[in-house]
Structure 1
Amino acid sequence: MSSKDRKDLPHPHDAQTEQTETAAEREARKQKESDNHQEALEETFPASDPVSPFIPAKAPKD
């Protein structure tokens, strides 16, 4: 497994190997990215603090 992200820029000392992905590989990669995104979204739900049960009082009339 590579330690680089596929979006990392190539290093000048890296071998220049052109790797193209097939349509099936691209679909599998996109599905994995989508699954990972969905899982991360579910793990962070709720994204904010819970709603406070505090109900502010009405402002007194002067």
Structure 2
Amino acid sequence: MTHDRQDVNHPDHGKPKHPETDVEKKERKQHADENQDQALEETFPASDPVSPFVPAKAPD
């Protein structure tokens, strides 16, 4: 099931059931870093080089 930003979450949604351990925190941060690295690779290069515009000759 998909949700969009307008959907209201349950008040307990996203709250951890227990305090995050050091191992869980490290794994969460590692996962976020991997996602960010992958997104960066997918968008490289950040901008394409500008292609010069050469207008065609007007028809006679």
What's the secondary structure of 2:19's corresponding residue? coil
TM-score, with structure 1 as normaliser: 0.52
- Matching residue's letter, 1:45: F
What percentage of residue pairs aligned between the two structures are identical? Answer: 51
Q: What CA distance in whole angstroms lies between the structure 1 residues aligned with 2:35 and 2:18? A: 24
For structure 2, list consecutive stretches of 5 or more residues without a partner in the other structure. 54-60
Alignment root-mean-square deviation, CA = 3.3
Q: What CA distance in whole angstroms lies between the structure 1 residues aligned with 2:34 and 2:16? A: 29
TM-score, with structure 2 as normaliser: 0.54
Q: What CA distance in whole angstroms lies between the structure 2 residues aligned with 1:39 and 1:13? A: 31
**Structure 1 runs of 4+ with >3 Å offset:** 51-54
